[in-house]
Chain A
Amino acid sequence: MLAYILRRLLYALPILVGVNLLTFVLFFVVNSPDDMARMQLGVKRVTPEAVEAWKRERGYHLPLLYNAEAEGLDRLTETIFFQKSVSLFAFEFGRSDAGSDIGYDIRQRMGPSLAVAVPVFVIGLAVNITFALLVVFFRATYVELWGMVLCVALMSISALFYIIAGQYLVGKVMRLVPISGFGEGLAAWKFVVLPVAVGVVSGIGSGVRWYRTLFLEELGKDYVRTARAKGLGEGAVLARHVLRNALIPILTGSVVLLPLLFMGSLILESFFGIPGLGSYTIDAINAQDFAIVRAMVFLGSVLYLVGLLLTDLSYTLVDPRVRLS
């Protein structure tokens, strides 16, 4: 078990290096260090010396990937890529190009992100499964037909519409919750209600359809017939047998998403002014803050790989027949 995890972690290393290299190349094609300096130094009255000094201060005066002037191994290490990448592996994100401490920012912003992402995930799961069960329960009636039509319709609406409509109706017309923003501690709940509701509703369409197919597949299995033969009612069959068995693929399938919840939701957060990691990322893209984008890409990749690992592990925990090989 431990050996397996270790091996998987080792396997993750080259992937992270690849991710780093790719983002690095992309960003430096876009942005020369000179550009970054000017962007950060402001609009009025910027001198070339100021640009040079800024680069030196932040270590952007080195060559990008290969230092021809250095000796031996230094040719590879005395470069922006090496200097800026190695610290990432120790989760030291350093300072953003604008000068703030990225690690501190990320820690600060994780809370708000989770405050939205976790309820969306949990409530969404519960709501989708409930509706899917209901649809399956009513199969071959008009309830199923219209339920599925509704699902396709919901699915065909862009998430942006849900957000705009939700903000307009609930925030502006009905005045139930603050339009946007965030609060300290538990007081944040009223800021979170609307984004969570919008997040859940926008996921219902595809979610219900997906779980419905899972349940239908389960329904075709032998043990269901056995249960019916015992004289169990339809409700009991669904709740006790189908749901319980289908939960295994549902849960193992969801595990991969868990770590990524930390990354927050890009659009929800920026629409509702939630100071989480999603809006952090969008702001960084708009400001072309390479240090933050790189840190977020790295973090996202790490969390994705952790998710993969967790999925594998959860399979073995749920189903002893699966061997880790």
Chain B
Amino acid sequence: MPFQPVLLWTDALLFLLVGLVVLFAWQARRHEHLRAPWREVARRPLAMACAVVLGAYALIGLADSVHFRPALDQPGPQGERRYAPEVLSLLDLALAPLRRQSEKTYSAPFAVRLYVKETVHLPDGTVQRIRPRLRWGGAHLEDPARRWADVAARGGRGALWGLALWAAAGMVWLAWRARRWGCRWREALVRVAAGRTELPWRAMWLTGAVLLLLAGAVAALAPYYHVLGTDKVGQDVLYQSLKSVRTGLVIGTLTTLVMLPFAVLLGLAAGYFRGWVDDVVQYLYTTLNAIPGVLLIAAAVLMLQVYMANHPEAFPTATERADMRLLFLCLILGITSWTGLCRMLRGETLKLRELDYVQAAQAFGVGHGRILLRHLLPNLMHIVLISVVLDFSALVLAEAVLSYVGVGVDPSMHSWGNMINAARLEMAREPVVWWTLAAAFLFMFALVLAANLFADAVRDAFDPRLRGA
């Protein structure tokens, strides 16, 4: 094999999560009562446009979650294959030019020269402070003055490629649709274009077009320029922003995955059994709630660092250390955030257990486990779902704040929080280095905005109380 697969903890959990979602979707397809609210969500153009954006993020995140170690060129002493110590992902492979083309230090987006002056010893013995040409950015240009024309030409060509890809995919899809609708290809096109479809295909395809246009232009430009500039040690900011996507997604989703079992189990048990079980659970979550969250997280993260320092052999590579810390952060965020959901579930269970059908089941001697699983849990799923989607964006934002306080993800890990943190120093520079902050802002804003809008749609569809409002 030319590579050795590496499965990090968060990778495994992420794929487990994907599996669960697929399983759930398959289940939902077969049951009308599960399908109905989703259909409600799917009918909203805004929600579906957001879903496309979220899908793009998820794609990047998942591509960044397939890790491996590439093989080295020279074989070992017995001729066996040996692997490089650094762990790469599929995304790294796709972004290889971005990853490798690092400059010496800051350069602005599309720059051909460094952003800062540098002391250069000239051959005649004098010293000058100039802004040297970049090693990679715009290095193909003979005449730096023609840079913007070159950018426009390359960007335009890339965008056209994106558009062409979009058109091709669109035609294939239309042909397939037309067969299902039992109409001709042109009719199907008119139907979609006019928005006369059950699902808002037009909005989705338009969003897709925008994304592909952008992606095409950026893909065409990225090997020749630093589209979003470079940071203090010359790493490409676009690369960092894309790598940060996974961190954001992992924090947003795995935290929920980790806390769900606790919240659901304890909430259900407390509401259903009442008595001392209820007392214990209430005590537990009041105690946890009473501790200021940041302090708890800080203490736990410090504890992890100590553990790592004492057991260096358990985390041989930097990637594994960073990954462990990320997972642990999810865990501890989960511990501090399950209480709200647990309290809601407890309250709802208290109400539900008094309902006739539960009482009847009890009277028939149905076991507790069965009642909880078959009668109560399904009727609580909408609360769980709503809180999961609502929490997602809050968690992504929390990561940035925690990294600022110094108890966030590993400093060596790419994350928007770390980028913003670095940007604080850059904003004080004169002239201002604005692109790291801008890039983190854009990527984060797009994700959180899409997630918020999508979450709104989900809440409206699932919460019967709000449907009228």
Contact = CB atoms under 8 A, between A and B. Distances in A.
Interface of A: 14-16, 18-19, 22-23, 26-27, 29-31, 152-153, 155-161, 164, 168, 213, 216-217, 220, 263, 266-267, 281-282, 285-286, 288, 293, 296-297, 300-301, 304-305, 308
A296 B295 contact: yes
Nearest to B447: A156
A266 B406 CA distance: 12
A213 B390 CA distance: 15
A86 B466 CA distance: 48
Interface string B429-460: 00000000100010011001100110010000
Interface residues of B, number: 41
B65 interface: no
Nearest to B432: A168
B330 interface: no
B60 interface: no
A157 B441 contact: yes
A158 B244 CA distance: 15
A281 B466 contact: no
Given A18-B287, A158-B420, A297-B292, A152 B452 contact: yes
Contact of B292 (A29, A155, A158, A296): A296
B401 A160 contact: yes
Given A29-B303, A160-B401, A220-B469, A263 B420 contact: no
Contact of A15 (B287, B397, B427, B449): B287
A26 B303 contact: yes
B407 interface: yes
29 contacts: A14-B283, A15-B290, A22-B291, A23-B291, A23-B295, A26-B296, A26-B299, A29-B303, A29-B306, A30-B302, A152-B452, A155-B448, A155-B452, A156-B444, A157-B448, A158-B420, A160-B400, A164-B427, A213-B469, A217-B469, A220-B469, A281-B292, A281-B294, A285-B405, A293-B295, A293-B298, A296-B292, A300-B292, A301-B291
A160 B420 contact: yes
Contacts of A305: 286, 290
Q: Which 4 A-B pairs have the closest CB atoms?
A: A301-B290, A156-B448, A26-B299, A18-B287
Nearest to A260: B292
B45 to A, nearest CB: 14
Nearest to B446: A156
B283 A152 contact: no
B300 interface: yes
A169 B332 CA distance: 36
B437 to A, nearest CB: 7
B401 A300 contact: no
A22 B336 CA distance: 13
Contacts of A308: 286
Contacts of A30: 299, 302-303, 306
Given A14-B283, A19-B291, A285-B407, A158 B469 contact: no
A54 B469 CA distance: 64
Contact of A267 (B298, B404, B437, B468): B404
Contacts of B406: 285-286
B294 A266 contact: yes
A224 B208 CA distance: 45
B424 A297 contact: no
A18 B296 CA distance: 13
